[in-house]
């Protein structure tokens, strides 16, 4: 009797399955963000094309101010040609977004090119044919100065919202901090005392936000609006009843002097801009690094991000969700306190009602545009500072654009950012969601 033996089957190339092809589909939100960004860039490019027909002469850009020890050359560019080139770059970048053919890092590159083209094209149109050159040094120095409170306010928003607490009350924290700094600075004539008072007042407002948002589960957006109104009302009442009648004693705070860093401050163009500033400017720069390190390089930062993304999972492994959120909101209050002090002891030395004029909301927009990342949020704050400074600089060039429209530019940019027309943004998953066991 014979037995059959079965040899094991060895797979061959003929047995291999057909090649699989995977199609990556774009989500609805990503498509909407891509199309809205592309259309917006195309519209701006068309506007630059319209400005091309009214551009005459040469545009001059002065790299040094009149009092600089080292005078850098003034750059001259043909106005119409530069505006036309910037318009074409915007249209190409916008077409790339609309077509959806940009992959990998190309959308980011196209966005940067479009942004630079918009700024350069608009400034060229404004400076072309004018008697005075556009002061680049003043523009950059004013950008850093104006963006300082926005950077600190944006860091406040990033820390709080990374933990899951929406902070619409940055404006109110700014206002109370500015008021406290003005009062204490006027009484003590001490800059450190004024800064301490500003931080203390802002942290108190942050504690109020945390109390009702975390403990009593009040809607965080509505709560932020209420805190802003409370800050405006309380500071306005105290200003009318207490400060204004005694303005010499209670509203005459010292102003910070610039601190020059030896050698670095002597660098042409960049030296006076970056290394001859007040202590608050330096603190804002250091704060960006500190917040980044806290959020992404420490155990505490990991817990903050965990309770902002998935609080139930964090609670499961023994993390106190409410405790971490309290800590994040109070730490965030320190940054908004420093930002609020800028409006009084950091600049003019006096307080007036509603002094912050919406800067807290612009800082909140920087948080959204910066995608809740400290470095990106600070970059967006610099962008807003650039727009604000540009509006004031263009008024000196007698551009045909009404000054009221120029002053609207930062707020228009804020609306565009909050509406989500520039890129896709995703907040932390539990941002604004109260946590209950």
pTM: 0.89
Angstrom CA distances, 1 to 5, 6, 341, stand at 13, 16, 101
Whether 170 shows a pLDDT value over 70: the answer reads yes
What are the pLDDT digits (tens) for 299-311? 999 999 999 999 9
What are the pLDDT digits (tens) for 418-433? 655 555 567 899 999 9
CB neighbours of 197 closer than 8 A, spacing ≥ 6? 180, 181, 183, 184, 185
Nearest Cα to Cα of residue 339 among 156, 118, 81:
156
Most confident option among 2-6, 335-339, 411-415 = 335-339
pLDDT band at 367 (very low <50, low <70, confident <90, very high): very high
What span, in angstroms and rounded, lies between the C-alpha atoms of 149 and 181? 14
Mean of per-residue pLDDT scores for the chain: 88
pLDDT band at 18 (very low <50, low <70, confident <90, very high): low
CA atoms within a 13 Å half-sphere pointing along the CA-CB vector of 156:
36
Nearest Cα to Cα of residue 430 among 319, 315, 306, 309:
309
SS3 track for 388-407: HHHHHHHHHCCCCCCHHHHH
153 or 38: whose pLDDT is higher? Answer: 153
Give the mean pLDDT of 176-204: 96
The helix (run of H) or strand (run of E) holding residue 418 is helix 403-418
Given the structure tokens 């807290």, which residue do they identify? 360
CB neighbours of 370 closer than 8 A, spacing ≥ 6? 154, 158, 376, 377, 378, 379, 380, 381
Asked whether the beta carbons of 149 and 359 are under 8 A apart, the reply is yes
pLDDT band at 130 (very low <50, low <70, confident <90, very high): confident
pLDDT band at 164 (very low <50, low <70, confident <90, very high): very high
b/e map 183-222, b = 16+ CB within 10 Å: bbbbeeeebebbbbbbbbbbbbbbebbbebbbeeebebee
Whether 169 shows a pLDDT value over 80: the answer reads yes
Whether 15 shows a pLDDT value over 70: the answer reads no
Whether 1 shows a pLDDT value over 50: the answer reads no
What are the pLDDT digits (tens) for 219-272? 999 999 999 999 999 999 999 999 999 989 999 999 999 999 988 888 888 888
């Amino acid at each position: 009797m014979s037995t059959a033996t079965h040899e094991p089957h060895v797979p061959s190339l003929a047995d291999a399955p057909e090649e699989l092809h995977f199609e990556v589909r774009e989500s609805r939100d990503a498509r909407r963000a891509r199309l809205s960004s592309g259309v917006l860039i195309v519209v701006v490019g068309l506007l630059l094309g319209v400005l091309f027909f009214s551009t005459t002469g040469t545009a001059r850009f002065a790299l040094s101010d009149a009092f600089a020890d080292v005078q850098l050359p003034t750059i001259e560019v043909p106005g119409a040609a530069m505006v036309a080139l910037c318009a074409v770059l915007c249209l190409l970048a916008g077409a790339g977004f609309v077509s959806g053919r940009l992959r990998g890092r190309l959308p980011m590159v196209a966005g940067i090119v479009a942004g630079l083209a918009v700024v350069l094209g608009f400034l060229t149109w404004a400076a072309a044919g004018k008697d005075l050159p556009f002061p680049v040094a003043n523009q950059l120095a004013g950008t850093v100065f104006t963006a300082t409170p926005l950077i600190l306010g944006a860091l406040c928003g990033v820390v709080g919202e990374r933990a899951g607490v929406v902070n619409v009350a940055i404006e109110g924290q700014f206002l109370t901090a500015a008021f406290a700094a003005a009062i204490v600075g006027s009484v003590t004539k001490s800059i450190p005392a004024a800064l301490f008072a500003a931080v203390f007042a802002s942290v108190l407002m942050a504690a109020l936000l945390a109390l009702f948002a975390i403990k009593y589960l009040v809607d965080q957006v509505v709560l932020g609006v209420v805190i802003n109104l409370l800050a405006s009302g309380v500071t306005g009442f105290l200003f009318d009843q207490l400060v204004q009648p005694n303005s010499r004693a209670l509203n005459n705070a010292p102003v910070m002097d610039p601190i020059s860093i030896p050698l670095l401050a002597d660098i042409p163009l960049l030296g006076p801009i970056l290394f001859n500033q007040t202590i608050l400017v330096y603190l804002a720069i250091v704060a960006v690094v500190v917040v980044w390190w806290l959020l992404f390089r420490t155990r505490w930062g990991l817990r903050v991000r965990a309770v902002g993304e998935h609080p139930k999972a964090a609670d499961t492994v023994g993390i106190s969700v409410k405790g971490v959120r309290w800590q994040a909101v109070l730490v965030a209050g320190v940054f908004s306190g420093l930002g609020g002090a800028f409006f009084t002891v950091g600049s003019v030395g006096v307080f007036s009602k509603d002094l912050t004029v919406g800067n807290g909301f612009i800082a909140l927009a920087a948080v959204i545009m910066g995608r809740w990342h400290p470095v990106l949020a600070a970059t967006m704050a610099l962008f807003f500072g650039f727009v604000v400074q540009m509006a004031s600089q263009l008024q000196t060039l007698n551009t045909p654009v009404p000054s009221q429209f120029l002053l609207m530019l930062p707020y228009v940019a804020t609306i565009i950012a909050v509406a989500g027309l520039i890129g896709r943004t995703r907040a932390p998953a539990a941002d604004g969601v109260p946590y209950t066991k």
